[in-house]
Amino acid sequence: MRKPIIAGNWKMNNTASEGVALVKQIAPLVKEANCDVVVCVPAIDIPAVSEALKGTNIALGAENVHFAEKGAFTGEISAAMLLEYGVKYVIIGHSERRQYFGETDETVNKRTLTALKAGLTPIVCIGESLEERETGETEAVLFEQIKVGLKDIEDIKEVVIAYEPVWAIGTGKTATAEQANETIAFIRKTIGELFCPKCAEKVRIQYGGSMNAGNCKELMAMEEIDGGLIGGASLKAPDFAAIVNFDK
Ligand code: PEP
């Protein structure tokens, strides 16, 4: 009922020409995909990668968006700037932005509302740290991230949520399929309580954290997991394609 969505997060890797070369390798490998396929790329790569994606089934995503329409925000990128190049998705609140760039649930909320208003699909990242998991705070942390980060959203099914346990990102340590499924079920239940149970059934919730060609089938077989946000493995065409083609 929910169409899976596999999105690559290139982070600060790949110059524009490297990005174009990578999508040229990926495109033929994923053309029969049964899921939505997205590459989220550095802002400066967007024009060239947008051109290279024409005629493919891969959608373009950004890694961040500012919440203001325009103005004195040196170094920032607006939704209108992204839309002009055919960007459809935008990652918001990635743990690296929370950790290194002062992103909070409040700014996540502002960016998400702005993205939705502009017609971009936000991929909102939430997740607990290792310490929070070990001290039994996972559910409380996620509840707060959802309550504040997704406040005032009218149509919650327009948002994609990426559950990314911080301890599993870029560490090679994956949550077990059962752990990921159980936590995503909690996220869905919370959305049901804060929004409505019917809408919660329609929201796509990805898992992210060291997902790769070897573990994607097991993760994607879980009932609650609707896709993946892929960091490291999205930088190699065969690996990313193997994840996209998890059902083949
Ligand atoms: C990410 O950065 O969103 C991510 C999941 O990274 P990795 O797949 O490398 O753990």
Instruction: Give the domains, in start order, of the chain with CATH numbers.
Output: 5-241 (3.20.20.70)
**Strand intervals (E) in 68-136:** 89-92, 121-126
Our answer on whether the CB atom of 231 is closer than 6 Å to any ligand 1 atom is: yes
The identity of residue 57, as a single letter, is N
The structure's pTM equals 0.98
Six token digits for residue 176: 């077990």
132 is catalytic: no
Residue 22, ligand 1, Cβ within 6 A: no
> Which residues, 6 or more positions from 83, have their beta carbon under 8 angstroms from its beta carbon?
118, 119, 120
Q: pLDDT band for 151, please (50, 70, 90 cuts).
A: very high
Contacts of 102 (CB under 8 A, 6+ apart): none
Rounded to an integer, the average pLDDT of 206-230 is 97
Q: How confident is the model at residue 93 (pLDDT cuts 50, 70, 90)?
A: very high
pLDDT of residue 172: 86
- Of the chain, the end-to-end C-alpha distance in Å amounts to 18
Given a contact cutoff of 8 angstroms between Cβ atoms, the answer to whether 86 and 62 are in contact is no
Q: Which residues contact 117 (CB under 8 A, 6 or more apart)?
A: 79
| Local confidence band at 35 (pLDDT 50, 70, 90 cut-offs) | very high
1, pLDDT greater than 90: no
* Atom number, ligand 1, closest to the C-alpha of residue 210: 10
Percent of the chain with pLDDT over 90: 97
Helices and strands counted in the chain (H then E): 11, 8
Using the mean position of ligand 1's atoms as its centre, give its distance from the Cα of residue 174 in Å. Answer: 10
Q: Could you report the per-residue pLDDT of 131-145, keeping only the tens digit for each?
A: 999 999 999 999 999
> Which of helix, strand or coil describes residue 122?
strand
Of all residues in the chain, the percent with pLDDT exceeding 70 is: 100
pLDDT value, residue 174: 85
On the CB side of 35, CA atoms within 13 Å amount to 25
C-alpha 95 to ligand 1 mean position (Å): 10
The tokens for 61 are 């995503």
